[in-house]
Structure formats: structure tokens, C-alpha cells
Amino acid sequence: MDNKGFTLVELLVAAFLLVTLVSLLAVILEPAGTNWHAAAGKTDALQHGRIAMEEIVHELTYACRVISDPSAGRLTYYKKSNGRLMKYRIYKSGSSLLLALPEGAAVPIAGCIADFACYPAGELAAGEMLTICLKTAEKGQTCSFQSGVLVRNITEDIP
């Protein structure tokens, strides 16, 4: 008996095996997609937090005067430029961390910001360490950051 085609039973078995294989792949790959999405969110949260912390530390290292208001999520500092004190402010607006420049414009430092605070509250004294606390959130993933800055140029004679 020379059978050159497939019988109906063979086609049904092949279709059943194909459907079973596709179903198993879907069950296996679904968690991988969820994990990929979560890892992407964690990466974004980490990257935004790292950028924000680096920028804040860089900005504050050579400030002459620093005033922290943790309850408002605001940090005001002054730098000397051409012999004049220039006022800057870092604050949270929505999910962005912004830097207000002396000219009145505000530029974004980082996004995905859930919380921002600096301690101790009030004006920083010479030799005192400023602690920066930052929390980022993206796609259900959160990261917390904390860093200390020793502001180098604070003196007691600046008004």
C-alpha cells in the first residue's frame, strides 16, 4: 500500500502536538516577559536615581550657603559667580526633580522621582554633612538612594 498523503488521524495528531507545544511555550515565556518588564522598570529607576544623586552632589560640593526644607522637598543653595552670590533651588515637581537657575528658568535633573528630602533641616553650618534622600519609582519598581555631601565653601560670613 503506497500512501503518499497524510491521513486525517496523522493531521489531527500533528495539530494536537503543535497546539500543545505552543501552549507550553506561552506558559514558559509569559513569566519571562513579566520579568523583562520588571527588570526594565528597575533599570530605569536606578538610572534616574544615579543621575539625580550625581548631579546634586556635584552642584552642592562648592556651594557657599545651603538651606534645606525637607517638609517641602526643597533645597536652596548659593554659589559665587563673578563675585556675586547666585541662588539655585532643587525641588520635586510631579515625578521630576528640577533645578531652578538664577535666571528664573528650571531645568530637569531626573525623572521617576517618588520622594526627595535633605537633612538636617534649615541652614547648613560649616563642616556639617548634608544627607540627601531620594526615592525613584518606575513600572512598579522602586529604588532608594542616600548620600552625604560635605559642602566645602560654607563660611560664617556670608549673609
Domains held by the chain: number: 1
Yes or no: say if 60 and 150 are a contact pair by the CB < 8 Å rule.
no
Answer yes or no: is 134 within a domain: yes
Note the pTM of the prediction, 2 decimals: 0.75
Identity of the residue numbered 137: A
Least trusted range by pLDDT, from 34-38, 79-83, 106-110, 133-137: 34-38
Range of the domain at 135: 8-150
Does 25 or 75 have the greater pLDDT score? 75
d(CA 51, CA 54): 5
Pairing mode, if any, of strands 74-81 and 65-69? antiparallel
The pLDDT confidence band at residue 38, using thresholds 50, 70 and 90, is confident
Answer yes or no: is 20 within a domain: yes
The pLDDT confidence band at residue 158, using thresholds 50, 70 and 90, is low
